[in-house]
Amino acid sequence: MALLSIADLSVSFHTEDGAMSIVEDVSFEVGAGEIVGLVGESGCGKSVTAMSIMGLLPSDISRIDKGTIELEGKSLLDLGEAAMCKVRGDRMGMIFQEPMTSLNPTYTIGFQLIEALRLHRSLSSAEARGSVIEMLRLVGVSAPERRVDQYPHELSGGLRQRVMIAMALICRPSLLIADEPTTALDVTVQAQILELLLHLKKELGMAILLITHDLGVVAEFCERVLVMYAGRIIEQTTVEELYARPRHPYTLGLLDAMPRISSPAGKLPTIPGIVPSPGNRPDGCYFVERCAHSSARCSTKHPPLDGDPPHQFACWNPVA
């Protein structure tokens, strides 16, 4: 049984401009200890999907229209807020894009890590402090005994991201959702953080859902990839398969748009047009207006996610 399984998830936002469908019919699974990449452009619904799993969607404007989310066999959408608080941080953790602002500037990192731990475990402060120092050491923070008493502003961006990771993992969750964890960091620090996540995955055995728009990161880091476009998953497969034989024209476009050292100097190929905004999505396939392979059927009927596992794609005219 999969650790996390999402079926037919649809999320819409209700604002003054009316209802907008953000995520549509998203289904996927993450196995225990697996690293799955969720890639797509800004605004394609990656973060909303992650927030739906965490149960952190803004309750006043968003609505989960249909679908199920199960973690370790437990249906998360049926849990009340109090029960959800017990799952969050304990069974699943999340790290965010902005390590600079994701720590409360008014408390020491020790206070915040101990808080994260004691929300779910009844430990004395001394015991909690011990575990926190041990966790900081595990995420590669040097001199953790000294660091615990420092404030976030005394740490560099890379160190703060390590602290965020320590916070998300302190209760040893079985799933870690990493929402663009390296986007705000220097390239060298990015590599260190990704290395660290890999190392921690081996050490603690949790699964990782890595949300990113960086296909390079996916190639290096993930076992399986989900490609999202305009709120839908349009292709999912193993990393090797995706890079060797992309079937959806959008995936192909993304891969072609990546700069390569071997490619001749000159303009990079791009995908023409822009992502249709929620509310302006065309009938049929959402990629039809930008697609070089489109046919008449594409603009009338939405292609389902189809094909033999593990390689599935939603396209009427897949790339050969």
Q: Please report, as ranges, the residues that interact with another protein according to CB under 8 A.
A: 54, 56, 59-60, 81-82, 85-90, 93-94, 96, 98, 101-106, 108, 115-116, 119-120, 150-151, 153-154, 164, 167-168
Q: How far is the CB of 96 from another protein (least distance, A)?
A: 6
Residue with smaller CB distance to another protein, 164 or 315: 164
Residue 25 in contact with residue 32, Cβ under 8 Å?
A: no
CA pair distance 258, 260, nearest whole angstrom:
6
CA pair distance 264, 253, nearest whole angstrom:
18
Residue with smaller CB distance to another protein, 97 or 312: 97
CA pair distance 304, 307, nearest whole angstrom:
9
Residue with smaller CB distance to another protein, 104 or 300: 104
Residue with smaller CB distance to another protein, 24 or 180: 180
Q: How far is the CB of 164 from another protein (least distance, A)?
A: 7
> E-strand spans in the chain?
4-15, 18-30, 35-39, 62-71, 74-75, 92-95, 175-179, 207-212, 224-229, 232-238, 312-313
Among 214, 213, 226, 234, smallest CA distance to 288 is for 234
Q: How far is the CB of 98 from another protein (least distance, A)?
A: 5
Q: How far is the CB of 94 from another protein (least distance, A)?
A: 4
What is the helix (H) or strand (E) element at residue 76, kind and residue range? Answer: none
Q: How far is the CB of 26 from another protein (least distance, A)?
A: 20
Residue with smaller CB distance to another protein, 54 or 239: 54
> Quick one: three-class SS letters along 20-31?
EEEEEEEEEEEC
Among 242, 250, 252, smallest CA distance to 276 is for 250
Q: Which residues contact 308 (CB under 8 A, 6 or more apart)?
A: none
Q: How far is the CB of 234 from another protein (least distance, A)?
A: 28
CA pair distance 273, 200, nearest whole angstrom:
40
Strand partners, 6: 28, 69
Which 8-state DSSP code applies to residue 276? P
Strand partners, 68: 7
Residue with smaller CB distance to another protein, 167 or 196: 167
- The sign one gets for the Cα dihedral 99, 180, 286, 288 is positive
Q: How far is the CB of 93 from another protein (least distance, A)?
A: 7
Q: How far is the CB of 97 from another protein (least distance, A)?
A: 8
Residue with smaller CB distance to another protein, 8 or 154: 154
Residue with smaller CB distance to another protein, 151 or 243: 151
